[in-house]
Amino acid sequence: MTNGDSGTVSIYDVVNVRLDRELQVGPNPVAVTPSETRDEVYVVNSGVAGGQGSVSVVNAENNSVAATIWVHKQPTALALDPEDKLAYVANSASNNVSVIDLEARREVAVIGSGEEPTAVRVSPDGKTLAIANRRGSSVSLVDPSTRQVRAVFEGCPGANDVVILPDSTKAFAACSGGHQILAIALAHAAHPGQKDQVATDRVESLLDVGRQPVQLALKPDGGEIFVSNSLSDSISEVITGTDDVLGAYLMGADPVRGLVSADNSLLYVGNLRSQEVTIYAIDDGKRAGSIHVGDGPSALAFSASGHLLFVVDARSGDVAVVRTASDSLFTMLPAGRSPNAIAVKAFKLP
């Protein structure tokens, strides 16, 4: 877990449910992404105001910093390619994206983006890089093979988050400066069961949701997206195949983060101006309860088994551990100052 004001990451033993250590990284860490294929975790350090940012490579076997890779000003997010060989880092104050060779531990290219890129995703097929440009109110699509921008779609005020469907056919962006979601059909060859290929990227629809949509939670099966509407205290449910918005459902005070269980049945929502995580039953289409955690739940992550849910409490500065079988609070763990992001690194036993 990243602690912005401490310049550290807190490392937790998930098996014994305890704090293992607090590790110094770079100034103002804001995001953390684990590798699926190697025993590494990548921490995005936003840096001091106006200064250069960096990525800390954490060796997950011995919990040490293995390398520091310098990028550009105020990086905010990192995405890995499907082979875990390259990382793409959105540098919000430099209006570009760094391409990092993870084996060489260095930046190998820079891709121009729109103004203030804040989120970046790579499609599962590796053929599209999608960038949400907050101040540019746009979404940039990049061909990773050529590292050239192939399309820019404007009209998404405060573009803040972006997701890509598991079949790599569509991207959705949250327009946090308004009340809409931008749906983009991605250029692709016909998939099994589909009649036609999509020759060029195009806007498919602009969907009305709640006020200030800040985050998109995609079901693992790709069938639905749940939109956290910060100013409406609600989530909106979107059917990805038809771009239909089923409705909005009240969750809690300032929902900012949603996370769907691996079996696609439950949505957990962190409500920043509260001490509650709300549970939404997807098949039933209704709120199913809430869990009292710490103050300001703002980031969520499941354990590899899904038996535990870890909740970052931004204001109380701790981590709530929830048992998902009973949806009850198990324990609270200490954190550093201003915790803001969390990820779980799973290991495969030989």
> Which pLDDT score is estimated for 101?
98
> Which pLDDT score is estimated for 237?
97
Residue 290's DSSP bridge partners are 278
253/295 Cα distance (integer angstroms): 12
Q: Report yes or no: 279 and 327 within 8 Å, Cβ to Cβ.
A: yes
Distance of CA 86 to the CA centre of its chain: 17
Residues of the chain with CATH 2.130.10.10: 1-112, 230-340
Residues of the chain with pLDDT under 50: 350
Distance of CA 332 to the CA centre of its chain: 23
Domain 230-340 belongs to what topology? Methylamine Dehydrogenase; Chain H (2.130.10)
270/25 Cα distance (integer angstroms): 26
> Which pLDDT score is estimated for 196?
59
Q: Which helix (H) or strand (E) holds 213?
A: strand 213-218
Domain 113-208 belongs to what topology? Thrombin, subunit H (2.40.10)
Q: Counting runs of H as helices and runs of E as strands, what totals does the chain give?
A: 0, 32
Residue-wise pLDDT for 22-59, tens only, equals: 999 999 999 999 999 999 999 999 998 878 999 999 99
Per this entry, what is the length of the chain? 350
CATH of the domain spanning 1-112, picked from 2.40.30.10, 3.70.10.10, 3.40.50.300, 2.130.10.10? 2.130.10.10
Average pLDDT, the chain: 95
Residues of the chain with CATH 2.40.10.500: 113-208
> Which pLDDT score is estimated for 12?
97
> Which pLDDT score is estimated for 199?
78
Residue-wise pLDDT for 160-196, tens only, equals: 999 999 999 999 999 999 999 999 999 976 555 555 5
With b for 16 or more beta-carbon neighbours within 10 A and e for fewer, the 39-48 pattern comes to: ebbbbbbbbe
The 3-state DSSP class for residue 160 equals strand
User: What are φ and ψ of residue 232, in 5° steps?
Assistant: -100, -5
C-alpha distances in Å from residue 227, one per residue of 132, 176, 231, 280, 349 = 16, 10, 12, 12, 36
